[in-house]
Chains A and B, each alone.
Chain A
Amino acid sequence: AQTVTQSQPEMSVQEAETVTLSCTYDTSESDYYLFWYKQPPSRQMILVIRQEAYKQQNATENRFSVNFQKAAKSFSLKISDSQLGDAAMYFCAYRSDGEGAQKLVFGQGTRLTINP
């Protein structure tokens, strides 16, 4: 079974600075997807960024980028120029790449605080 571990329960950063959230995972599969989801106090889960395991290039979405190290099974999220609206719980998630595979395996989450 796949597992996802986020070792930082809480992180804080000054507004406009950069922060990196860590995530490691365990799997025996070679093809899969990795995600970072954001859950603000409103509770609506929002996809921040995704990475396909077969792609070597790290995904980037505006101020959000990942460092995907497949051999090390590491998948960190870097948020540049942090904004107050980035404050939320961030979840790292894993999904198999198979027929009908929709199950997401989540980490425990990292609560990110942005200090003005």
Chain B
Amino acid sequence: KAGVTQTPRYLIKTRGQQVTLSCSPISGHRSVSWYQQTPGQGLQFLFEYFSETQRNKGNFPGRFSGRQFSNSRSEMNVSTLELGDSALYLCASSLDGLRTGTKLYNEQFFGPGTRLTVL
């Protein structure tokens, strides 16, 4: 089974531009989460999508947005790029579904990341 894929792997943009990153989850996975990794702030949760709906959101400005398609592929968009947006963006997918009260754990599998550099 193919793992989580992210495209592109590397991206260079200039301040003020916008960028779209893509994440294809493992087949059958319906939850996709996005994380930003920087040397200063570490790994921070951006948002999570499940069945085309944003289910959780981290503390990032509105310039960061995302969406999920019916095939569970997800995109995240950053508008009006700033130098501080330079980071490794990771996505993770999971089987997670609706639970009925019993404990249910589904591992999150991470993609290789997209390295975004803002000049």
Contact = CB atoms under 8 A, between A and B. Distances in A.
Contact of B110 (A44, A97, A100, A102): A44
Interface stretch (B20-28, B40-48, B61-69, B72-80): B40-48
A53 to B, nearest CB: 11
A95 to B, nearest CB: 8
A36 B107 CA distance: 12
B104 to A, nearest CB: 9
Given A43-B113, A97-B103, A102 B42 contact: no
Nearest to B99: A99
A33 to B, nearest CB: 7
A109 B48 contact: no
A104 interface: yes
B107 to A, nearest CB: 6
B55 A104 contact: no
B43 A102 contact: no
B103 A52 contact: yes
B112 A108 contact: no
Interface in A75-116: 91, 97, 99-109
B56 A100 contact: yes
A108 B44 CA distance: 10
Contacts of A107: 42
Contact of B96 (A33, A42, A102): A102
A105 B35 CA distance: 10
Contacts of B81: none
B105 A33 contact: yes
B100 to A, nearest CB: 10
Which are the 7 A-B pairs with shortest beta-carbon distances?
A45-B110, A106-B43, A103-B45, A102-B48, A108-B42, A43-B113, A100-B55
